[in-house]
Amino acid sequence: MKKTTKTHATKSVNTAKTAPLARPAVKKQYNPWSFSIYVYWFIILFFIAATFYILGRSHGVLNHRVPLNNSANISEEALMQASDYYEAGKTKLLSGDAEGAIEDLTTAIDAGNPTVDMYVLRGEAYMQTANYAGALDDFNAALDLNQTSSVAYYDRALLNMRLENYDAALADINNALAARATTDEDILQLRDLYAKRGQLNLWLKNWDGAIADYTNSLARPDGIVNPSVYAERAEAYTAIGDYASAIADYSAAVRVISEQIQGAATSDERELMSSNAMSYFEKSAALNLQMGNTQASLNDLESARTIAMALNDTETVERLNNLIAELQ
C-alpha cells in the first residue's frame, strides 16, 4: 500500500515538476511570428481600404469634370463668366455679327441662371438670321422669367408682324404698353410703342385707332419724331376721306425730313430720306387734285421733280414732267 501511495505521490510530484515545462508551449501562441501575422493583415487591410478610397475619390472627381469636357471651348469657359459672354454677344449683335452673337449668348445661357436680357438679345439675333422659331422660343422664355418685360413683348410683336400674325402682334403691343406703364426707367419709349400700335391698326384697317395712336405718339416729348408717323397717319386720314388733314401730315413729314437730313450718317440714308420726301409730295399732289386745288397740286409735283433731278432719277423726272404738262 505504501509503495502504491509513494508511486502515486511520485507521479504527482513528477506532474508538478513537468507542469512548468508545458508553459512554453502555451507561450508559442504569442510568439513574434504570430504577432507579425496580425500586423501584416492589418497593413494589408489598410492598403486595400486606402486603395478603394482613392479610387472612389478619383471616380468622383472624374464624374464631376464630365460636364466641362462637353464644351468645345473649355479653356475659354474657365476664363470667361456668363456675363462676359453676354456682353460679347451684345457687342457682336450691335455690330451686325448675328451668328457670333448667337454663339456667345448661347454660351451665356447654357452656363446657368440665364436672364431675360440674354433670351431677348438672342431672340433678336435669331430674327436677324430668319430663325423665327428660335426667336419665338427665346421671347417666350424671357416672358416666362418676367411677365412684365415690355421689351420681350415688343420684340415678340415685331416677330408676329413679320409672320403676319397681326392679332397676336397687337396683343403683344398692348401688353408692352401695360408693362411699360409700371416703370419710368424702361428703355422703350412710349412714342415708339404708340407708333407701332398705330402701324398695326393701319394694317388692320382700324383707321380711327391708327389715327389715335399716331396722334398719341407725336404728342410724346421723348425720343425723335419719325417722319413716317406723319405719313402713315396721312394714309389713315386719306382712308376716311379727310384729305385736308392728310395733306397737312404729308407736309409735316417733309418738314421733319428737311430738318433731319443734314444729320444723316451716310449718303444712302440721305438718299432714302429724299426719296421718301419725293413720294410724300406726289401723294399730296394727288390729294390736292382730288380737292380741286390744281395749283397746289402743281407745286407739289414740281417739288417732287426737283428731288428726282437731284437723285438723278431720270425715269421719275420724265413721268413727273408729263403730269405737270397735263395740269398746265
| pLDDT given for residue 112 in this prediction | 83
pLDDT band at 24 (very low <50, low <70, confident <90, very high): very low
Alpha-carbon gap, residue 44 to 50, rounded angstroms = 10
- Which tens digits make up the pLDDT trace of 147-203? 999 999 999 999 999 999 999 999 999 999 999 888 766 688 899 999 999 999 999
The pTM (predicted TM-score) of the whole model is 0.71
Helix (H, G, I), strand (E, B) or coil at 293: coil
Residue-range domain boundaries for the chain: 224-328
Contacting residues for 303 by C-beta, under 8 A, at least 6 apart: 281
Rounded to 5°, the CA angle 63-69-73 comes to 155
- Comparing CA positions, the residue from 245, 116, 241 lying closest to residue 187 is 116
- Which tens digits make up the pLDDT trace of 265-320? 899 999 999 999 999 999 999 999 999 999 999 999 999 999 999 999 999 999 99
Alpha-carbon gap, residue 92 to 101, rounded angstroms = 5
| pLDDT given for residue 253 in this prediction | 97
Alpha-carbon gap, residue 169 to 201, rounded angstroms = 10
- Residue 262 is classified by DSSP as G
Alpha-carbon gap, residue 51 to 45, rounded angstroms = 10
User: What would the CATH number be for the domain defined by 224-328?
Assistant: 1.25.40.10
